[in-house]
Chain A
C-alpha cells in the first residue's frame, strides 16, 4: 500500500466538467461546451497515465497498490466506510481503457451531436457518467463501488431517455434502470451478507483488500435453505447474490432485456456506456473479488454456464436482426457472455483481456454504425442500406477491421483474447473433476464464435457492399463523416487490429510476449498437473481459426450471392422457418416478462388497492361511522319533545322498578 494523493483527480475532472456544463452550460457556446467535456476525460487519462508510469518504475511484475483515503462517509455503530480510492494493476488497466476510449468517444460526440438542441445536457450527462464509472473502478471498498454502480445506471437512464419526446426512449430508459435495480437487489444483499460475516470475523470493514482476505475463510460455513431444503455455502451465497447484480449491469440472462431497447439513445452513448465501459462493470466486479469467487467452485460454475449460454443465446438473436444497432447490442451481450465464461473458469486475466480488446473493437463498431446513421439521416434498417463503401471508405475500412477483430481472424485483437478464453475453458475441462461441464461450455463457446463471425459479416455486407438499396434522395446526401468522427474511428480500429499483441498465447509466445498477462497477474490458480498441453492448445487455436474464417466466408457468400435462397429457406421449410421466427422475435422474452411479471404486478396492485384499502379497511372505518350514526338515530327517537311520550317513558320506568322490587321482596 502506497499513499498517493493524485488519484482523486481522475474521477474529479469529469465531475467538474459535469458541474460546468450542467450548471452554466446554457450560457456557453457550443464549441466551449464540447471543449470542456472533452478536456476533462483527457486530463483524467493523463493522470492515469502518470500513475501507470509509476507502476512501471516499480517494475511491472511488482504487485502494489496505491491508495488514497479521504473523508469518512457512512459511519454508525459497527460500520465505518470512507470515501477512498485504491489503484492496483487491474484498476489502472480499466482506468486507462475507460479514460482513453472515453476521451475518443467524447471527441467523436462533438461531431456527432453537432446539430443537437441541447448539447450542454448531453455532455453534462456524459461527464457525469465518466465520473461514476471511474468511481466504480477506483473504489477502495465495495460500498463506494456501489455508488459508482448506481451512478452509471443513472447516467444510462438519463442518456437512454435523452430524446425523451419519444415515449419509447423514455420507457427504454426506465426499463434499463428498473432491470438494473433488480440486479442491485442482489448486489445490496451480497454486501450486507459480506458485512455480517466481516463483523463476525472481528474485521468490520468493506474494503476490497480485507474482503478478499477474510471472506474466503468462510467457505466451509453453510446455511440451510428454507422451503426447498438442502444447504448452501456462505461464500457461494455471497457470490451468487453479487452475480445477480453483475448479470443486471452486464446484461446476462435473465436480466439482459434492457440492453437491446437501450439502443434508442445517441450512438456515442451506446459506444461508451453499452459497449466499452458500463456493461463490463459486472465482469470487473468479479475480477475485483476474484479470491472470494475462487473460494466457491459452485458459484464459478454458475457464472461460467450463464456466461456461455448467454454468449450463444444472444448470438442466435443477432443473426436475424435488421436494425444495425440491435445487431451490435446482441453482439455485446454475447461478448459479455464470453467474459463471464472466462470469470467462471477462473481465467480472470483472459476475461479482462477480452474486456479491453472488446472495448476497442466494439466501441469502433458502434461509432461506425453512428457514422453510417449520421450519413443516412438516422436510418437504422440494414435492408435499406448497401453499397455504402463507395461513399464512406474510412467508415467501411475501420468497420471491416473491427469486424475481423470480433470474428476472431488471426492476429486481430479478438482472436487472441477470445481464444485465450476458449482455451482456458478447454483446459479446465481437461484438468478439473467435473470436466464434462466445461467441455460442453467450450463447445457452446465455439458455436457462439461461429455465429459471431456470421452475423458480423452479414452486417458488413448488408451495409457496405452490394447494390445501394436506399432512395435516390438519400444517396444524394451521403457523405463521409467529419474528421472529429473519423479520427477516433481510425485510432480505435488500429487498437482493434494490434491490441492482441499485449498477450500472445502460451504456445506462440512461450510466456514471453504476454506482458498484459503478467501485468494483471490476477490471482489465477496455477496450472494443475502441468502436463504439456501444447498440442491441445494448438488444436484449439486451429479449430477457432478455421471456424471463424469459414463462418465469415459463408456469410460473405450468402449475403452477396445467395440472399434470396436464405430468405426462401427462412420462409418455407418448417424447421428453419420456426428457428427464424424465434430468433427474429428474440424468443419472445420481452413478451413473456410483460405477461408474467409486469402485468401481474401492476394489475395485482390495483386489485389489492381496491380490495384491501378501499373495501376492507375503509369499509370497516366507514362501517364504524355508520354504526355510530345508526345507534344515535335510535336514541334520538326517544327525544321527541312530546310531554305525553316522556310521561309514558317515566311510567314504564317506574313500573319496571316496582316489578323488580316486588320480585325481590317475594324472594
Chain B
C-alpha cells in the first residue's frame, strides 16, 4: 500500500500543507500552532528517512515521478533524487524541525505567519532539490526567495528592511540572468526540453562559445547564492538581521542551493566552459573558468577567515566563517575529481550541521541577553557548563578536528584539490589554521576569563534547547566517524555528473585527466627500480 504513495511529492508538499493549515488557526492559539508546525516538520523528516533507506544506490535518479505540466512547452512536473540531492533533502528536513523548536520562545509576533513561512520555505527548498525539470526548478528556486524575504524583513533585527532588500536584489539579479540562460538551453536542445537528464547529453551540441556564456549566466546566479567572493556582502547583513531560525535555514540550506546548482547544472551542462580556455576581450589575457573559480574559492577561504577575525558581532563572525567554509566547498567542486567533489558535497552537509548549530548557539545566548556583541559576554563557562560543552563540540566541528564531520570534509577536499593542483591545497590549508584562530578566539572571548556581572543571571540550556542541539551533536560525530554511510551513496552520482568533464578533457588533451595529474607528481622516475633510491634494509 505504502509503495503507491508518491514519496517525493508527499515530502515536498506536506510542509506546505501544514503551513496552509496554520493559516486557519486563531491568533491566540499560539501553543497549538507551534505543536502543529513541529508535527508537520517532524513527520516530513521521518518520511524523508525512508528515502535514505530505500535509496537503491547507483548513479541514476530514484523515486522519479513524471507528469506533464504545461504541454505546449514540454514542461513537466518531474521529481527524483540521486546520491547528491538525497542528502541535501535530508539536511533540509532534518534542520526544519530544529528551527521550529528553536523558535518557540524566540518569536513573539505574528507567530502564525512565521511558522507558516518556515514550512512554505521548506516546501520550496525540497522542491528545488528534487526538481528534474529546469523550468520547475526555476519556479521553486524563486519561490524560496519569498518566505526568506519575509523571515528577514518581518522577524529580523533593527536593520531588517535594508538586509531583506539587499538579500532580495542580490539573488534576484542573478536569477534573472539564469532564467534567460534556461530559455536559451531549452531552445538549443533538440527536441526542445527542460528535462535535466536529457539535457546532460543534449547539450553536447553547444559550441564552446555558447557554453562559456551560458556557464557564466548560471554561475553568476549560483555564485551570488553561495556566496562567492566578491559577491558575498549580502550574507553578513542578512545573517545579522535574520531571526535564529532564518539564519539556520539560510546558512544550512539556502547557501547550499548555490553550490548544488554548480554541481547539478553549471558543471555537467557546460563542462566545455571549464576545460577550454578563452581570451578575455579587452585585456587580451588567456583564462579559463576553472582557474577563475578555483582562485575565487581559495580567495574566499582566506578572505572570509580574515574577515571573521575582524568582527565584534557574533553572527557577523559566523556569517564570514560561512564564506570561508563555502570557499572550501567550491574548491572541492572545482577540483573536478571524485575526491574533491564528494568532499565538497560532504562539506555542504557539514556546514549545514555545524554552522546551523553555531547560529542556534548564538540564538540561545541572544534570547537570554539580547545582544550579539562579543564583548558583552566573557567568563560564562562556569555559569552554563552544559552549554559550554555543547558549544565546544560545535566549535571543534567547525574547525575540522578529526573524528568530527568537519575533518572528513576538509581532508577530502584538500586531497582532491591537491590532486588537481597542489598550490590550491597549500593556500586552502592556511585557511584551516585561520579557522582555528577565529573560532577559538570567539570561544575564548565568550566563555572564558572573568565573568561580566551582566551575565550573572544567565541560565544553562533548558530541556527544549538540549533536545534540538543533541541531534546536531550526534550528527557531528556520526559524520566524523562513519563517513562511509554517506560517501557510498554519493560517489556513483558524483562520478556520473563528472562524466562530461572527463569527456571534454579527453577531447582536449587526448589523455586521461587523472593520469596526467598524477604523472606530474611522480615525474620520470615513477617506475620503482633498484637504482631509484637507497634500498631500505630492515634493521
Interface of A with B (CB < 8 Å)? 63, 71-79, 143, 146-147, 150-151, 154, 157, 161, 164-167, 169-171, 173-174, 177-178, 181-182, 184-185, 188-189, 192-193, 195-197, 199-201, 212-214, 216-223, 234-235, 291, 294-295, 521-524, 601-602, 604-606, 608-609, 612-613, 617-618, 621, 625
Partner of B403, one of A147, A182, A295, A604: A147
Q: Is the CB of A218 within 8 A of B533?
A: yes
Between A and B, 7 residue pairs with Cβ closer than 8 Å are A181-B437, A216-B534, A220-B533, A221-B522, A234-B523, A235-B533, A524-B539
Query: Knowing A74-B408, A76-B412, A182-B433 touch, does A167 contact B450 (C-beta < 8 A)?
Result: yes
Binds A, one of B124-132, B213-221, B334-342, B504-512: B334-342
Q: Given contacts A185-B430, A605-B306, A617-B233, could you give 4 more A-B pairs where the C-beta distance is less than 8 Å? A: A170-B448, A182-B433, A200-B521, A291-B536
Q: Is the CB of B381 within 8 A of A164?
A: yes
Q: Is the CB of A74 within 8 A of B522?
A: no
Complex Cα–Cα for A604 and B415 (A): 30
**Set of chain A residues within 8 Å of B306, measured between Cβ atoms:** 601, 604-605, 608-609
- A interface footprint on B525-539 (CB within 8 Å = 1, 0 otherwise): 110110011101111
Partner of A217, one of B403, B411, B533: B533
Q: Is the CB of B533 within 8 A of A295?
A: yes
B23 at the interface (CB under 8 A from A): no
B287 at the interface (CB under 8 A from A): no
Query: Knowing A76-B339, A188-B432, A621-B166 touch, does A221 contact B233 (C-beta < 8 A)?
Result: no
Closest residue of chain A to B440, judged by CB? A174
Q: Is the CB of A77 within 8 A of B342?
A: yes
**Set of chain A residues within 8 Å of B430, measured between Cβ atoms:** 185
B343 at the interface (CB under 8 A from A): yes
Closest residue of chain A to B345, judged by CB? A76
Q: Is the CB of A217 within 8 A of B528?
A: yes
Partner of B338, one of A77, A185, A200: A77
Complex Cα–Cα for A151 and B382 (A): 24
Interface of B with A (CB < 8 Å)? 166, 169-170, 230, 233, 236, 303, 306-307, 309-311, 337-339, 342-343, 379, 381-382, 396, 401-403, 407-408, 411-412, 414-416, 418-419, 422, 425-426, 429-430, 432-433, 436-437, 440-441, 444, 447-451, 481-484, 487, 490-491, 518-519, 521-526, 528-529, 532-534, 536-539
| CB proximity of B460 to chain A, nearest CB, Å | 12
| CB proximity of B493 to chain A, nearest CB, Å | 13
**Set of chain B residues within 8 Å of A625, measured between Cβ atoms:** 169
Q: Is the CB of B426 within 8 A of A618?
A: no
Partner of B444, one of A71, A171, A220: A171
Q: Is the CB of B481 within 8 A of A165?
A: no
Complex Cα–Cα for A143 and B342 (A): 19
Closest residue of chain B to A297, judged by CB? B534
| CB proximity of B179 to chain A, nearest CB, Å | 20
Complex Cα–Cα for A224 and B311 (A): 40
| CB proximity of A516 to chain B, nearest CB, Å | 14
Q: Is the CB of B536 within 8 A of A216?
A: yes
Q: Is the CB of B481 within 8 A of A73?
A: yes
Q: Is the CB of A602 within 8 A of B522?
A: no
Complex Cα–Cα for A70 and B472 (A): 26
Complex Cα–Cα for A167 and B528 (A): 55
**Set of chain A residues within 8 Å of B526, measured between Cβ atoms:** 200-201
Closest residue of chain B to A606, judged by CB? B310
**Set of chain B residues within 8 Å of A177, measured between Cβ atoms:** 436, 440
Q: Counting chain B CB atoms within 10 Å of each CB, which of A182, A196, A219, A222 scores highest?
A: A196
Query: Knowing A75-B484, A178-B433, A618-B233 touch, does A221 contact B523 (C-beta < 8 A)?
Result: yes
Q: Is the CB of B382 within 8 A of A165?
A: yes
Complex Cα–Cα for A74 and B528 (A): 27
Closest residue of chain B to A169, judged by CB? B448
